[in-house]
Chains A and B, each alone.
Chain A
């Protein structure tokens, strides 16, 4: 069952006009913001496919920037997000890419400030549901059918076991899990799909574990 909750059908509450081009875009932006952990100083946003050809009419640009400002899909400030970002001194650049991607609604977001950078590719699959398919060069394989956690961590022994232990403590079953790292001992990423929604309490408990850098929910 791809859709689990009645609120996937009666919802989300959002700023129009398109659940895939507006609400989905806002959610992709907000995941980037959430993973970055703070307001970025600059953002380079690339649109592909249908996003590239119709983003102006759908407000996909203002939705993504709204997400970067940490606004939910229904936040009225989405409509003026470009102005708000400008007055906050955030430099936004939008590019329409011609490359053909696997999914027609694809966006690449590269954000950063003096302390760091983050790059993410998201797709909007319909009805406001999204998938993140790439993070900082790590390819992610998420079905989008289940709630998922992204855990950025140091590639150290025990980090994965500690995360699994916390999930076990809350009786959360792991349906699919992947671990990727670029170089031994450097930053690594756990992608965990679980069977039920994850409370903030669990996220908080995971976040304070040793060697865990960032924990984010990406599908609800």
Chain B
């Protein structure tokens, strides 16, 4: 069993297989389930993600009225063709937003690694589907590779906003996605680790400050930026750029930042954006009272 990114990469290099393969084999070993059953379960999760993207792109609105409809705006903007960033990057943004808007509207999603950060991994995956035309199996592998890096973060740091701030939620999701993008684009396991490190470095310190305590503002837009961060970091790693700080040390730094972060900035709706005058007005409107 791999305990950190270093061991994960060494295993993949020794056996000359993809990271997804290491994760699938470990799952077989730990659960005692057959490879077929495990692949089927992941395909089910993939289908759930696909349906959430479609639903979000068709337009949803949350119960609170705080979020919804931005995925549609982004999609329409791309269609017009006058965008500044690359099309795949913006497509990933629109699909990450779509997923997280469905989440906020109490739709069905697959937590990756949590519900609040569920947009990043599928957002990037379904944008790459348009660009790289992967097989269904390659899409399933994408999720195992993302899962392998998330597994390391969850066991050595945290994937929960309440425990480690949003760097642990959307930050982890973005790092997981970056590593998986590299593999799907034909990069090496080592480049996946570089992409994860570069992404997470740029998410360090991100606080969890949900307005009115809801998984909506700023969560939806942080999923958008997590997806963009992952795409750019993956391109950097594929270009041969490396992280001066090794991936495991970045994960450890994220954990320690989370531990020293004040409670007011960890999903309590006491600080950050949640404590702004507008946020207090919104929560009074939604709940008929202030949470303060």
Contacts and interface: CB of A to CB of B under 8 A. Distances in A.
A and B from one assembly? yes
A16 B110 contact: no
A2 B155 CA distance: 6
Interface string B59-74: 0001110000000000
Interface in A162-189: none
Contacts, number: 156
A125 B267 CA distance: 13
Given A53-B213, A196-B32, A18 B64 contact: no
A50 B212 CA distance: 11
A18 B106 contact: no
B113 interface: yes
Nearest to B142: A10
A14 B109 contact: yes
B111 A128 contact: yes
B147 A9 contact: yes
A76 B108 contact: yes
Contacts of A4: 30
A100 interface: no
B286 A57 contact: yes
Contacts of B215: 16-18, 58
Given A8-B154, A9-B150, A59-B106, A17 B216 contact: yes
A50 B44 CA distance: 32
A54 B269 contact: yes
Contacts of A23: 111, 115
B3 A5 contact: no
Nearest to A3: B154
Contact of A126 (B26, B31, B147, B162): B162
A14 B147 contact: no
Interface stretch (B7-15, B97-105, B181-189, B193-201): B97-105
Contact of B116 (A17, A54, A56, A74): A17
Most buried by A among B143, B148, B151, B212: B151
A15 B106 contact: yes
Nearest to B212: A57
A45 B9 CA distance: 47
Interface in B169-224: 176, 212-216
B31 A19 contact: no
Contacts of B176: 9
Given A20-B162, A57-B214, A12 B111 contact: yes
Contacts of A14: 108-111, 115
Size category of the B interface is 35 or more
B115 A9 contact: no
Contacts of B146: 9-10
A19 B3 CA distance: 24
Contact of A6 (B108, B109, B116, B148): B148
A10 B104 contact: no
A9 B107 contact: no
A9 B160 CA distance: 11
B110 A11 contact: yes
Contacts of A6: 23, 26-27, 42, 144, 147-148, 151
A132 B257 CA distance: 30
Contacts of A157: none
Interface of A: 1-20, 22-23, 50, 53-54, 56-59, 74, 76, 79, 104-105, 125-128, 196-197
Going nearest first, the 6 A-B pairs with the smallest beta carbon separation are A16-B103, A126-B160, A54-B213, A9-B150, A6-B147, A17-B215
Interface of B: 1, 3, 23, 26-27, 30-32, 41-42, 44-45, 48, 62-64, 102-116, 118, 121, 143-144, 146-148, 150-151, 154-155, 158-160, 162-163, 176, 212-216, 267-269, 286-287, 291
Given A16-B106, A23-B111, 9 more contacts: A1-B3, A6-B148, A7-B42, A9-B147, A16-B109, A19-B116, A22-B115, A50-B162, A57-B64
